[in-house]
Amino acid sequence: MDEMDTSSSTGSVSEKNGSEGEEISVTPKGDGPEPMVGSPPLFTPIPSTSAMMLAAEAAQIQAQALQSEQNSDVWMSPKRDAMEGVPTDLSALEGQLPGTPSEHFVDRVTQSTEWFDEFKEEEQTWFVRMLLSRMHHHQHGSINSYLKPILQRDFITLLPRRGLDHVAETILSYLDAKSLCAAGLVCRSWLRVISDGMLWKKLIERKVHTDSLWRGLAERRGWIATLFKPKPGENHPNHSFYRRLYPSIIKDIDAIENNWRCGKHNLQRINCRSENSKGVYCLQYDDQKIVSGLRDNTIKMWDRNSLACLRVLTGHTGSVLCLQYDERVIISGSSDSTVRVWDVATGEHITTLIHHCEAVLHLSFRFYNGMMVTCSKDRSIAVWDMVSPNEINLRRVLVGHRAAVNVVDFDEKYIVSASGDRTIKVWNTSSCEFVRTLNGHKRGIACLQYQNHLVVSGSSDNTIRLWDIENGACLRVLEGHEELVRCIRFDSKRIVSGAYDGKIKVWDLQAALNLRSPSGTLCIRTLVEHSGRVFRLQFDEFQIVSSSHDDTILIWDFLNDNNKSSPSRTYTYVSNF
């Protein structure tokens, strides 16, 4: 203990151990570097002998406890993990010093190390800081290079060794595909975590949960059966299957995007064969069926796979101008001024709503929030409360347009209506109070869609306009159609429009919202197959379904493109008598 106390006295260590102790002397040289700002004091008062003996005894007890803790199997001791793989004997000095260290130097280093190990942790830190304050800047650089690899920890490798595999898997599960691929190349331990945790499978499942394109592909290609929880008695493939599956999905997605850009599609045609007047005014579809409203006063339901006519609903005494369905009902509006409700499963008529005094031009409903909005040639908008399919009650009539109201759409915040009077009007959904008018079209407005603060409208001035519903500003004008724009739909990527010129145009929505994009680059593709006016269309990531005055329904399939060499079409004709 006397030797350790001497090292902290005000005298030089060399006075006790001889002149060869200059390299470990704690007495600052006159020409040495100044201590760093904020470094610990170089000299401290010497405590009493009894105090030093008590402190030494306490330090010895603490050192024994620390040694016992290090020998036990504890979770991630910072000191032990930090020094894992770091040499602690004097062999590490070979090649680091000019020449061979003297025996006296080796003895001093050994003795100093023994003293250092007996210090408390805070004393060790203080002592090292004091030594650093006496070193030159280039020496600090050498020490920094030495410390960097010691301070780095491969926690992905360490966690499984402590039985915390799930923590490592959770950390890596936040990576995207590119980063996950790179992580698998780091080392075998990382690859084992990715493989055992089935992280490629989880990444695909996350994409399917959050992206409708991935969900649709999973269902259409059939690999959704290999995701999520397996059925009783079934086992899912191993990790390598999902590692190979991911790039094949990306290849499919790229092919779909390329088909949209190049107009490559597989075309199916339903010829409705209306008996009297021809034309399909409205439609809606899902994976099992297409429901269409015809000019001959009927509603026809078609099988989505065979394209055969499943059922004909009759009852309207005028053309069926609009319809919408959900899992329970079909609701249709007609030029006979009525709104009819039908059972979607059986096709039976449930009830008839009589309010408008002229043709019902459009309707929109959400049974989940109990609301329906209809509009009419009589210039009014009717808001309905939907209690059940049998009980639909008129809540409010909105008046303000000066011509026929051709289309309505709504969400929880706004009702949006467009009219032949060239205006779009915005109403508060809950109070039904008028909010603002959007002005800009030069002729009557035939169609619109409203979603997420964006309104897209088509007009008989042959243009499409994009609006910000919150401030009423017109964001963009799209020009290209040669006649009235009759129908329009959009999603997060595209706008698809149909017009009386018989053409369907696909537009880049994101480019349209970017004012720097040249107008000539906004139309991606023009599709020409209808021989008459395009009345209605809907689309998703894989297809467009459109109807026309030519009495046909066309299905433009951009997923199953059979002709890979050119943008020509493959036709399927179905005639129904």
What pLDDT shows up at residue 195?
95
Domains: count for the chain: 2
The CATH number of residue 185's host domain is 1.20.1280.50
Contact call for residues 12 and 45 (beta carbons, < 8 A): no
333-380 tens-digit pLDDT:
999 999 999 999 999 999 999 999 999 999 999 988 899 999 999 999
| 24/147 same-domain check | yes
Domain boundary pick from 131, 153, 175: 153
* Domain-embedded: residue 269: no
Listed range (275-289, 415-429, 478-492) with the worst mean pLDDT:
275-289
* Domain-embedded: residue 26: yes
What pLDDT shows up at residue 62?
56
**DSSP string for 20-47:** GGGGG--SPPTTSPPPPTTPPPS--PPP
| 118/16 same-domain check | yes
* Domain-embedded: residue 129: yes
| 85/167 same-domain check | no
What pLDDT shows up at residue 4?
43
Residue 282: half-sphere exposure toward Cβ, Cα within 13 Å? 24
* Domain-embedded: residue 496: no
What pLDDT shows up at residue 227?
93
| 81/181 same-domain check | no
Contact call for residues 270 and 536 (beta carbons, < 8 A): no
Domain boundary pick from 93, 126, 153: 153
What pLDDT shows up at residue 294?
96
Higher pLDDT, 524 or 84: 524
The yes-or-no verdict on residue 331 having pLDDT over 80 is: yes
Which ranges of 211-330 would DSSP assign to H, the alpha helix?
Answer: 212-221, 239-262
| 137/207 same-domain check | no
What pLDDT shows up at residue 58?
55
Rounded distance between C-alpha atoms, residue 448 and residue 488, angstroms: 6
Reported as a pLDDT band with limits 50, 70 and 90, residue 104 is confident
What pLDDT shows up at residue 8?
40
The yes-or-no verdict on residue 330 having pLDDT over 80 is: yes
Q: For all residues of the chain together, what is the average pLDDT?
A: 85
For the four alpha carbons of 197, 203, 205 and 210, in that order, the dihedral sign comes to: positive
Q: What is the rounded average pLDDT of the residues 302-316?
A: 95
If DSSP codes are grouped into helix, strand and coil, which group holds residue 231? coil
171-186 tens-digit pLDDT:
999 999 999 999 999 9
* Domain-embedded: residue 65: yes
109-162 tens-digit pLDDT:
888 888 999 999 999 999 999 999 999 999 999 899 888 888 888 889 999 998
| 25/118 same-domain check | yes
| 68/99 same-domain check | yes
- Residue appearing with tokens 């959770």: 170
6-49 tens-digit pLDDT:
344 334 333 344 434 434 343 444 444 444 444 444 444 444 44
| 66/123 same-domain check | yes
The yes-or-no verdict on residue 84 having pLDDT over 80 is: no
Q: How many CB atoms lie within 10 A of CB 22?
A: 12
What pLDDT shows up at residue 372?
97
| 15/111 same-domain check | yes
Which residue range(s) make up the domain with 193? 159-260
Reported as a pLDDT band with limits 50, 70 and 90, residue 3 is very low
If DSSP codes are grouped into helix, strand and coil, which group holds residue 470? coil
What pLDDT shows up at residue 88?
55
* Domain-embedded: residue 236: yes
Rounded distance between C-alpha atoms, residue 286 and residue 221, angstroms: 17
| 109/9 same-domain check | yes
446-472 tens-digit pLDDT:
999 999 999 999 999 999 999 999 999
| SS3 letters across 124-186 | HHHHHHHHHHCCCHHHHHHHHHHHHHHHCCCHHHHHHHCCCHHHHHHHHCCCCHHHHHHHCCC
| 16/142 same-domain check | yes
- For residue 211, give Cα distances in angstroms to 107, 208, 291, 411: 68, 6, 26, 22
Q: What is the rounded average pLDDT of the residues 81-107?
A: 63
| 236/188 same-domain check | yes
Q: What is the rounded average pLDDT of the residues 510-535?
A: 95
Distance of CA 273 to the CA centre of its chain: 44
* Domain-embedded: residue 195: yes
Rounded distance between C-alpha atoms, residue 529 and residue 531, angstroms: 6
Contact call for residues 449 and 469 (beta carbons, < 8 A): no
Reported as a pLDDT band with limits 50, 70 and 90, residue 93 is low
* Domain-embedded: residue 175: yes
Higher pLDDT, 155 or 74: 155
Domain boundary pick from 260, 283, 303: 260
Q: Count, in order, helices (H) and strands (E) of the chain.
A: 15, 29
